[in-house]
Amino acid sequence: MAIRGIGMPKTVDEVVKRLIANMPLKFNVDLSKMDEGELINLHFTFGAFIRNQFGLWSGNENLLNDCRQLSGITFMNPDDAAAFIIGELWKRLMKTHQLRVVK
């Protein structure tokens, strides 16, 4: 699956927006229902997808630097950055994609 968007994203916000727009609704809803501690289970699958799709292993320094700045972690490698992005995506989806009872 390729994520649509023009050019390499430079910010975490841009990555999160692209992921929400391009991932299946079911995936987004399922992710929003996960407990924070379960996110580590996505490291080798979804994390690898993020690292490859958004150039974290191939020199997207703008995105790495944005992850470092937002997280407050001075040294952050691509694996850490992908985990941070997953966490930020999860936080956004918690606000927008959780199913709620409507009365």
For the chain, the structural domain boundaries read 12-96
Query: Dihedral sign, CA of 21, 73, 53, 26?
Result: negative
Write out pLDDT tens, residues 13-70.
Answer: 999 999 999 999 999 999 999 999 999 999 999 999 999 999 999 989 999 999 999 9
What are the Cα distances from residue 66, in Å, to 13, 22, 75? 9, 21, 12
**pLDDT (0 to 100) of residue 98:** 60
Q: What is the pLDDT of residues 54-93, one digit of tens each?
A: 999 998 999 999 999 999 999 999 999 999 999 999 999 9
pTM (2 d.p.): 0.88
